[in-house]
Amino acid sequence: MISNYNFKEEKSLNKKRIVGVFIFVLIILVVLIGKTIVDNNNQIGKNLHNKQLDNIYVATGGGKEGFISDEDVVKIMEDVYNLNIIYDNWSNGKLIVNDLVREDGTKYDAMFCSDQRFYDYYKLSPDKSKGEADRYKVLDGGLTLNTPIVIYSWKEVVDVLISQEIVTQKDNVYYITNMEKLLNYILEGVKWSDIGLDMLYGSINIASTDPVTSSPGATYYGLLLSIMCGGNVTDDNINENLPKLKEFYIKSGYMNNTPADLFERYLKTGLGGEPMIVDYEKSIVEFAYENPDGFNQVKDDIRILYPSPTIWNSHCIATFDEEGNQFLKAFDNKDIQQIAWNRYGFRTGISAGNYDVSTLGITGIPKTITSTVSSLKMNMYNLLIDYLGNK
């Protein structure tokens, strides 16, 4: 009886051992299979990462540094288009005047300038009388990243400008619908207190960067000149209105040299420091994306005003060879376009695109910009800048 009991017990133990061994072996197999899958995936990723990318060399104007260095944009360029983009920084003025070659003497595949006037001018024959260098033949290109000129202000100021019938609110967007009246207030030296803003000292003014030394400032003054000339700047009416523009320039007083400095000053000094400034629409989007806590502190007080008409700042690509064409084609990528807008405030088409930034908490940005004037040609800008800079 005892012997029979021991045999059954031993048999039960053997079954448990067999089951335990089976489970142990199964676990080992699962681990090995999992490791093999992970190793294979890592190897695939390593192979993709180490694959030979095509180097594309681009002479680049400023104003888009964050976007072109964005990790996700770089990754899309590499993974989807097999491109490694090397951006060399150039001033826009030198892009169109100097010999456009790299430090080692090799040519560029593309140029990415910061305003349409430089793109248009580059496509012309060089003016040898001014010492301009020969230029590459432009194969393809055009407007790539766009942002309009806007005026940033504060709730208290805009409420008064609405009462003065200078600003109109439509569909939660603020438009300067009587720009001429606002410009006349500035030229006539009307004080903030004269229109009911007793807390503000001095005369009405719109701070901007210096048009003589700054591309954004020049774009803004190009807009002012277009408005003074009735929307069409010609050889005849430009000379009539340059003195008036010079008077406006003098009354504007101290000017920052970079839009980033001006926008930072606007945010830090508030209503009392900078009641109104000129900048690009993209600045508020980039600020809200990069500094959500800071934006939340001021978002209820900030007002974005769209001059009617306004003017586009368009970053343009010009391609010089097939490699440059590949670079240009990458900007048709929908993910790149959404990153350009959602993080850096660049519109990638004049009227197309999903221009909604409500996820960042920004209000008052229209999905389309309809009232604009054309960018001035380079010779008109040169006349404007020379006239303003002449003491």
pLDDT tens string 341-376? 999 999 986 444 567 787 888 999 998 898 999 888
- For residue 124, what is the DSSP state? S
Position 3 pLDDT exceeds 90:
no
The number of beta carbons lying within 10 Å of the beta carbon of residue 195 is 17
SS (H, E, C) 311-357: EEEEEEEEECCHHHHHHHHHCCCHHHHHHHHHHHCCECCCCCCCCCC
pLDDT tens string 191-228? 999 999 999 999 999 999 999 988 889 999 999 999 99
Lowest mean pLDDT across 101-110, 273-282, 346-355: 346-355
| Predicted pLDDT of residue 279 | 95
The structure's pTM equals 0.84
Question: In what helix (H) or strand (E) does residue 371 lie, and over which residues does it extend?
Answer: none
Answer with the residue of higher pLDDT: 10 or 252. Answer: 252
Torsion angle of C-alpha atoms 191, 196, 197, 198, degrees rounded to 10: 90
* Residue 147 phi, psi (nearest 5): -150, 135
SS3 call for 175: strand
| Predicted pLDDT of residue 357 | 81
Distance in angstroms (rounded) separating the CA atoms of residues 221 and 381: 9
- Please, what is the average pLDDT of the chain? 88
Question: In what helix (H) or strand (E) does residue 91 lie, and over which residues does it extend?
Answer: none
Region 147-313+362-389: CATH code: 3.40.190.10
Judge whether 337 and 72 are in contact, CB under 8 Å. Answer: no
| Predicted pLDDT of residue 23 | 67
| Predicted pLDDT of residue 4 | 47
- Report the phi/psi class of residue 142: left, alpha or beta, with left for phi > 0 and alpha for psi in -120 to 50: left
**Domain ranges (residues) in the chain:** 147-313+362-389
Strand-pairing partners, residue 149, are: 280
